[in-house]
Chain A
Amino acid sequence: MGKQIECKNCTLGYEGVPVTEGINFTVNSGDYLCILGENGSGKSTLIKSLLGLRPVMKGDIDWCEAKHGEIGYLPQQTLVQRDFPASVREIVISGCMAKGKFHPFILKEDKERAAKAMEQLGITDLEKHCYRELSGGQQQRVLLARALCASGKILLLDEPVTGLDPKAQNDLYEMIAKLNADGMTIIMVSHDIHAAVKYASHVLHIGSKKQLFYGTKEDYVNSKLGQSFINSEEAEHDE
């Protein structure tokens, strides 16, 4: 149960303008951290910083045992991907590209890795299918398998259920929970407070100026902030 990522008093922002200050949290091996926050609170900046693509303005992120590029990333779908002619297999294998040295061709171990990832996510039978002809939920699983190929330790998911129907959302959440149960560390950025409360072990809630909460899920549910957030979401659901 080692420490994997430690974020110490970080200030996030871009082009010299700080968005959020005082971000403090730790991710341990096997955690399921859910990052909540409204639009514009710096969630996507935090993702970029965690991936090592953007330096933090102040403070420090320590990737204790997880090196750069060892975080499997599930980005939000882009417009380009929607009608992309590629087979499931090709996409999953592309997750192995960053590993190790440069090889012009695909190695046998990469193929095995991809096959294992597809099996884990139950998409082996879709291997030869065309990505653009899959349902939204299947597409997310393909991208998740690709993320698994890139990392064996940590998955960083950026609003993974956006645009899925309720059943597919549920399936995907269960899938992620299963990966977590098998020992994978999960960091999930989400709007979905209910999923956070149901699945996560830890919650990080960031506001537009500063960090509002970091702690275990139980503490969050009992906190004033957690209560009000859950209630406001429920009120919205009832309308």
Chain B
Amino acid sequence: MNETIQTLLTYWDLEFVRYAVIVGLLIALCSSLLGVTLVLKRFSFIGDGLSHVAFGAMAISTLLSVTLKQASHGNSVFAKFLEDTNGMVIILPVTLLAAVLLLRTGQNTKIKGDAAIAMISVGSLALGYMLMNMFPGSANVSGDVCSTLFGSTSILTLTSTKVIICAILAAIVIAVFIIFYNRIFSVTFDENFAKASGVKSDGYNLLIAIITATIIVLAMNLVGSLLISALIIFPALSSMRLFKSFKSVVICSAVISVICAFVGMVVSILNSTPVGSTIVTADIAVFLLFSLIAAVTKRN
């Protein structure tokens, strides 16, 4: 036991580990807050869809930076900028656009919400993978793809600029959620009523879409694009098993998410397992535990 603590303390002395923990906890908190709304609005899969869009956008930005570099013999300022920001300048706007389009189609359009999500999700995954293969950014394409999808190492290579960007975005997300909490509840519970009583629900849907996209782009650093859905839906689903008011569900899922993210990161450091999947495993364990408690209390 002492040895374990010793190892952890050694790791804690490393700057990149501290960065990873800070960013990880912030992302876990943000995604769980929004997760409750998304799950209840029947948008569980939007996280999945958007994360694939983000993957596609990342492939495009890699492609851009590689071609620009080749064209300018390594002197392109923009290519360097793209690399420095991890392609954020392309990924964020593209994902935002997709989020807005998807949540728009949620209502009355020819292609229904779930089909639209499936279409965009699979489409951008396929295109992204194809682009990455045709114009490889490095020698190890499958390694690149794997780390983008499962976020294996990128969280350990965060620079302090990225941590600051991440913290600011997280703070904005949390502030927006708190300020608009009552409206978000009202739009989530009953959009028709909210609209009828004069709440601008289209505006709030747009707001939710924008926050979702932002969180997903942030979370790509932590768990990779494939596991983002898990961060969004698991804490929400777990707390819905047990809690009976919206507020308690939101608070509980935030707590679950932060604890799971922390435990997951500690375990992954100690056992050198992939960070993203370890966190999600912790989330799954909590979900099973809560389901069990719910089943037992119901019987009594």
Q: Do B182 and A94 have beta carbons less than 8 Å apart?
A: yes
Question: Which A residues between 110 and 169 are near B, CB-CB below 8 angstroms?
Answer: 128-130, 133, 143, 146-147, 150-151, 156
| A104 contacts B199, C-beta separation under 8 Å | no
Segment 146-160 of B: residues with Cβ below 8 Å from A = none
**Interface membership of chain B positions 241-275, coded 1 if the CB is closer than 8 angstroms to chain A and 0 otherwise:** 00111110100000000000000000000000000
Contact of A150 among B42, B179, B197, B247 (CB under 8 A): B197
Which chain A residues border B41 with CB–CB below 8 Å?
Answer: 80
Shortest CB distance B15–A (Å): 37
Contact check, A84 vs B197: say whether CB atoms are below 8 A apart: no
Contact A69/B181 with A86-B246, A90-B245 known, Cβ cut-off 8 Å? no
A73 and B192 contacting across the interface, CB-CB below 8 Å: yes
A95 adjacent to B179 (CB under 8 Å):
no
Q: Does B40 contact A (CB under 8 A)?
A: yes
| Complexed CA–CA distance, A151 and B182 (Å) | 18
Q: Which residues of A contact B198 (CB under 8 A)?
A: 68-69, 98
Q: Is A75 an interface residue (CB 8 A)?
A: yes
Asked if residues A73 and B249 are in contact (CB atoms below 8 Å), the reply is no
Q: Is the CB of A81 within 8 A of B186?
A: no
A165 to B212, CA, bound (A): 41
Contact between chains at A75 and B193 (CB < 8 Å): yes
Question: Which residues of chain B from 22 to 47 have any CB-CB distance to chain A below 8 Å in the complex?
Answer: 40-42
For the complex formed, measure the closest distance between the CB of A28 and the CB atoms of chain B, giving whole angstroms.
21
Q: Count the A-B residue pairs with Cβ separation under 8 angstroms: how many?
A: 91
Interface SS of A by simple majority: mixed
Contact A98 B246 (CB under 8 A): no
Interface flag for B18 (CB, 8 Å)? no
Closest to A110 in B: B182
A94 to B: closest C-beta gap in Å: 4
Knowing A75-B196, A80-B42, A84-B40 touch, does A90 contact B185 (C-beta < 8 A)? Answer: yes
**Count of chain B residues with Cβ under 8 Å from any Cβ of A?**
29
* A84-B245 Cα distance, complex, nearest whole Å: 9
Chain A: minimal CB distance from B154 (Å):
34
Q: Is B178 an interface residue (CB 8 A)?
A: yes
Chain A residue nearest in CB terms to B246? A86
Flag if A73 contacts B182 (CB, 8 Å). Answer: no
* B190, A81: Cβ atoms closer than 8 Å: yes
Contact B40 A90 (CB under 8 A): no
User: Residues of B contacting A68 with CB < 8 Å?
Assistant: 198
Contact residues in A for B185 (Cβ distance below 8 Å): 86, 90, 94
A230 at the interface (CB under 8 A from B): no
> Is B180 interfacial (CB 8 A cutoff)?
yes
* Bound-complex Cα distance A97 to B185 (A): 10
B195 to A, closest residue via Cβ: A53
A11 to chain B, nearest CB (A): 21
Distance in angstroms from B253 CB to nearest chain A CB is 10
The list of the 3 closest CB pairs from A to B, nearest first, reads A69-B198, A130-B244, A98-B197
- Supplied contacts A73-B197, A75-B190, A95-B193, 11 more A-B pairs, CB within 8 Å: A51-B196, A53-B195, A85-B245, A85-B246, A89-B245, A90-B246, A93-B182, A97-B197, A98-B194, A104-B179, A146-B193
